[in-house]
């Protein structure tokens, strides 16, 4: 009997380690690969948006997915602003674009799964982790977010879009240009997230590690425990949307606590995403290099870096080096939110780029 119990125990231990190994392997593999969105693959809806409801204040990108949005300016040229995070939408227009509002109309929107947009998933009932990962990726992952940009282009009635992406939004805008280069007029990437390559070339460029290095000593144990739970993918699918929103709000509190007063004062963002934050990470996996996909994109690209950004200048320069037709500008006395920290400098740089000067 004792021998039987020992055998059963060994089998259980082996299965546990095998399951952990499979989960780790799956976490390394990307669901998203450049080109799949343009090909219409792995999407939960068509690339053509439904007819827009008359008089509606939302963008209907799928039959059951609405995107909250607002605009600033009354110029003849549309510009789409892609927010960062993932899952950190804006509540107000950027001060750094106010001087350009007579020439352009700037459209801000909440990506699906955050802010005032549709959150299609509350919780998962299935215990099939791989199927849950697939469902999450298809509903809120990279493909879904990139497809929404293409649908917005069609809703706006533009053959080509001018895109301004901030932080995570800069990464998203870059991959949209990979999927639909024929529909991009210009790209402006503001402090684009250090996500082009994983693992990241610079060990000090990891956002979560960077936050830790700036926290006071007495918060480190608490932060480490929080990070352990934050990245516990084994228990991820036991959580709800509300649970994950709460965790993202908690990380946001850590982030704000280590920022300068000037940056903290200008941040006024909408309700963060829950599942939407984890979905892109599952989409792209933990080992990839998107730089080769950017090399063939010949649209004009402007990369802007705040001189005091917590993210290194080298990380932002990766984008300028990857695109074949890019220029790089550093905004003085600014951090990660240069459009609002130095609106005058920002407007001058962006205005000159958009005007082709």
Say if residue 38's pLDDT is above 70: yes
CA–CA gap between residue 288 and residue 131 (Å, rounded): 22
Confidence of residue 17 (pLDDT cuts 50, 70, 90): very low
The ranges assigned to domains in the chain are 31-354
For 144, the enclosing helix (H) or strand (E) is: helix 142-156
Contacts 24+ apart (CB under 8 A), 50-53: 52/155
**Does 320 have pLDDT greater than 70?**
yes
Mean pLDDT value across residues 19-44? 74
pTM: 0.89
How far apart, in whole angstroms, are the C-alpha atoms of residue 86 and residue 64? 21
Q: What is the dihedral of CA 352, 341, 152, 291, to 10 degrees?
A: 80
- Residue 143's φ and ψ, nearest 5 degrees, are -60, -45
Residue 203 reports pLDDT greater than 80: no
| Mean predicted confidence (pLDDT) in 147-169 | 98
pLDDT higher than threshold 50 for residue 180: yes
Left (φ > 0), alpha (ψ -120 to 50) or beta: where does 259 sit? beta
Identify the pLDDT of residue 349. 98
CATH number of this structure's domain 31-354: 3.40.50.1820
Residue recorded with tokens 């095998």: 18
Phi, psi angles (nearest 5°) of residue 101: -75, -15
Give all strands (DSSP E) within 27-138, no chain letters.
58-62, 65-72, 77-82, 104-109
Per-residue burial over 97-107, b = 16 or more CB atoms within 10 Å of its CB, e = otherwise: beebeeebbbb
Q: What is the mean pLDDT of the chain?
A: 89
Residues 266-295 have pLDDT tens digits of 456 788 999 999 999 999 988 889 999 999
For residue 357, what pLDDT is reported? 66
Identify the pLDDT of residue 260: 59
**At 22, is the pLDDT very low, low, confident or very high (cuts 50, 70, 90)?**
very low
Say if CB 307 and CB 332 are below 8 A apart.
yes
Q: What is the DSSP letter of 223?
A: H
Q: What is the pLDDT of residues 39-86, one digit of tens each?
A: 999 999 999 999 999 888 899 999 999 999 999 999 999 999 999 999
Top-confidence residue, 330 or 5: 330
**pLDDT for res 27:** 46
Task: Give tens-digit pLDDT for 77-128.
Answer: 999 999 999 999 999 999 999 999 999 999 999 999 999 999 999 999 999 9
With 0-12 CB in 10 A as exposed, 13-18 as middle and 19+ as buried, what is 271? middle
pLDDT band of 234, cuts 50, 70, 90: confident
């Amino acid at each position: 009997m004792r021998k039987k119990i020992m055998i059963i125990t060994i089998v259980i231990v082996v299965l546990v380690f095998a399951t952990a190994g499979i989960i780790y392997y799956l976490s390394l593999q990307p669901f998203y690969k450049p080109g799949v969105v343009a090909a219409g693959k792995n999407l939960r809806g068509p690339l053509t948006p439904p007819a827009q409801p008359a008089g509606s204040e939302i963008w209907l990108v799928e039959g059951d997915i609405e995107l909250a949005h607002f605009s600033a300016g009354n110029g003849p040229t549309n510009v789409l602003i892609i927010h960062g995070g993932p899952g950190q939408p804006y509540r107000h227009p950027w001060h750094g674009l106010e001087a350009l509002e007579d020439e352009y109309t700037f459209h801000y929107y909440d990506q699906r799964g955050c802010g005032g947009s549709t959150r299609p998933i509350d919780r998962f009932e299935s215990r099939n982790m791989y199927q849950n990962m697939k469902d999450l990726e298809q509903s809120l992952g990279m493909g879904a977010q990139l497809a929404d940009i293409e649908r917005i282009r069609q809703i706006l009635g533009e053959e080509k879009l001018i895109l301004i992406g901030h932080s995570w939004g800069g990464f998203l805008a870059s991959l949209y240009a990979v999927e639909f280069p024929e529909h991009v007029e210009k790209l402006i990437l503001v402090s684009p997230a250090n996500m082009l390559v994983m693992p990241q070339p610079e060990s000090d460029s990891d956002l979560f590690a960077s936050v830790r290095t700036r926290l006071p000593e007495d918060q480190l144990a608490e932060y480490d425990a929080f990070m352990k739970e934050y990245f516990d993918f084994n228990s991820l699918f036991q959580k709800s949307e509300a649970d994950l929103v709460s965790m993202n709000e908690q990380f946001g509190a850590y982030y704000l606590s280590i920022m300068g007063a000037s940056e903290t004062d200008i941040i006024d963002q909408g309700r963060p995403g829950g599942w939407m934050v984890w979905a892109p990470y599952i989409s792209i996996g933990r080992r990839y290099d998107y730089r080769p996909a950017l090399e063939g994109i010949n649209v004009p690209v402007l990369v802007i870096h705040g001189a005091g950004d917590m993210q290194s200048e080298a990380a932002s320069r990766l984008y300028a080096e990857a695109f074949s037709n890019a220029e790089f500008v550093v905004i003085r006395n600014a951090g990660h939110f240069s459009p609002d920290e130095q609106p005058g400098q920002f407007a001058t740089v962006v205005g000159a780029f958009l005007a082709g000067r």
